[in-house]
Amino acid sequence: MKTTHLFLVICSLLIASVGITSETNKATVKPKEKTMSTPSVSLGYVVLYVKDVSATLTFYEEAFGLSRRFYNDDHGKAYGELETGAARLAFYSFELANEHLKQGVVVASPDKAPLGFEIALVTPDVPALYARAVKAGATVVSAPEAKPWGQTVAYLRDKDGHLVGLGTPLP
């Protein structure tokens, strides 16, 4: 009799705990309602600060074959941009940058180590674009080289001292 009673008590506890767990699971599995939509974000521009926007635009057109999309110079406060695919490469004059940012910027220079980033341009023919850029006045950092991951890359510096990487599309 004691064994039967103990068995019934254990069964009752198990049934009760399954019911509690079941209710808890239903509450935690239920998805929360969204109160805000997630914003959509994409890279639209990479902006470099340069001494002479017009000269920099001309260099990138000659060196890399990029097309000028926009240019404006308001008494030395210049802005320009190039078509580069999904995102645009743009340039602010130091004067315009100072006006917008309310402070100075760290300036790239061909005489100093490159800043901690690169402009990476993708092309199916790295050696040809590399040769074109060098002819236009780019400074050589490293010649085109096949990398173990299947990409060919080269590094140059533009006339302002910004690091420019050239690479084939990733396989």
Confidence band for 13, pLDDT divided at 50, 70 and 90 = very low
Whether 64 contacts 167, CB under 8 Å: no
pTM exceeds 0.85, yes or no = no
**Using CA atoms, how far apart are residues 94 and 65, in angstroms rounded to an integer?**
25
Structural domains in the chain, sorted by start: 45-167 (3.10.180.10)
Q: Is the pLDDT of residue 4 over 80?
A: no
Three state DSSP letters for 70-110: EEEEECCEEEEEEECCCCEEEEEEHHHHHHHHCCCCCCCCC
Instruction: Write the pLDDT tens digit of every residue in 90-140.
Output: 999 999 999 999 998 999 999 999 999 999 999 999 999 999 999 999 999
Query: Do the beta carbons of residue 165 and residue 147 sit within 8 Å?
Result: no
Read off the pLDDT of residues 50-99 as tens digits, 9 standing for 90 and up: 999 999 999 999 999 999 999 999 999 999 999 999 999 999 999 999 99
Residue 21: pLDDT over 50: no
